[in-house]
A and B are shown apart, each in its own frame.
Chain A
Amino acid sequence: MRERSDELEALLDRTAPNGVPISRAVEAELGRMAVAARTETPGVAVHRVSRLATAGIIAAVVFGGAGAAAAAVSVHEWFGWEKNPDRIYEFTLPSGDTCETRLGVVTGDDSRMVAAVKDYIASVDLGDAIDVPSELERRRADTNNWTTLPDGTEEYSGYGSDLYPDPDEEYKGAVSGALVAAVVAHLKSQGLGANPADWSNLTYSGRTQCSGDEQ
């Protein structure tokens, strides 16, 4: 009886369904989710435009120095990888609120691409490299924005619609988008990424906290 029981237990052990292959990217993403879940809320966040930003308003952008040195004093609370980021930078929103962004968790299947992204975001002079006004223009000109509402219907969310982000949220998105564009341009200027497979699973994480955020 004991022998049969052992055989059955061994059979049970052997026939478990395959688990998920845990790549470094999956591990990093789980770590990111563990932090992001703290402030994530279920459902779709719908932003209403209170007043469109007037042409010509450029919020002041101050970028932290190169390197991973943490700010001497941060007014925000950070968790997990955010405590030891690859880059910290600050900027000011149209409303006057100040934001701090931390970047890190660079992952991808191609180690050269990962190293290049990591080096770039840690050392680049962001004031020179990123073009926020151009990114704002690009976003406002994009007419392919549609948002799926909680009831499953789709509604246009481009510039001028009720669902388009308010000026501060628009600006935050533009800063982030301008950095992505700068990263991609840098990689291509280095002769990297010619093969589509080079971009496989290439990601980095960022978290922004602003003085006007609810805690």
Chain B
Amino acid sequence: MSAAPNGGADDRLTDSLTANSVDILNYFARRVGHDDAPDLVAETMMAAWRRSNALPSDPDGARMWLFGIARNVLANADRSHRRRLRLANRLRLLIDRSSEPAADAGIEIRDALQRLPAEHAEILRLVHWDGFSLQEASMLLNEPPTTTRSRYTRAKTALRGQLEHPPDPTSAVVLLADGS
């Protein structure tokens, strides 16, 4: 029994998933770590097939569409109870966990990013970690390019502020001593 013809859309989705899967894997790896990234890749691929009718016909559009699905998968992932999918079993075994960053490599700037509001941190990650242009980031964030550019400028200003004035780790102890 063969499937009804669909104008080659299944082939285009297969090609698009294959062409973008490495970038999607690293998109997740940079945000949730190497251990959890394979399962989110698997969820993204499965979600893409469920919505295959909406696949844009051009490769760039298809790439942005897939990353849009990936962002939704990430947003909906339950961090306290990560699902382990059979589809991701082999990929999890293949990924070299020893490549995860050393404890002190870039930790200052990554900590500063963590302290930013989520929308500021995300625009900086999209541009500087994932390599998207501001135009592409605005498509992913589903907002006008001018809004994204303003957000990016504010995010850098906020990050600079965090780096120049990091929180004092002893301040909580001092307050406790004074207030108790």
Contact = CB atoms under 8 A, between A and B. Distances in A.
Nearest to A40: B87
Among A31, A34, A40, the most chain B Cβ lie within 10 Å of the Cβ of: A34
Given A4-B160, A40-B86, A22 B129 contact: no
Contacts of A76: 1-2
A26 B94 contact: yes
Nearest to A22: B22
Contacts of A12: 109, 124, 127-129, 159
A27 to B, nearest CB: 7
Interface stretch (B70-78, B95-103, B143-151, B165-173): B95-103
Given A18-B100, A34-B45, A38-B49, A80 B14 contact: yes
A22 B22 CA distance: 8
Please classify the interface of chain B as helix (H, G, I), strand (E, B), loop, or mixed, using the class held by over half of its residues: helix
Contacts of A23: 94, 96
Interface residues of B, number: 48
A21 B160 CA distance: 31
Contact of A77 (B2, B25, B46): B2
Contact of A35 (B14, B100, B110): B14
Interface string A179-212: 0000000000000000000000101000000010
Interface of A: 4-5, 8-9, 11-23, 25-27, 29-38, 40-42, 44, 75-77, 79-80, 201, 203, 211, 213, 215
Interface of B: 1-3, 10-11, 14-15, 17-18, 21-22, 25-26, 29-30, 34, 37, 41-42, 45-46, 48-49, 83, 85-88, 90-91, 94-96, 99-101, 105-106, 109-110, 124, 127-129, 156, 159-160, 163
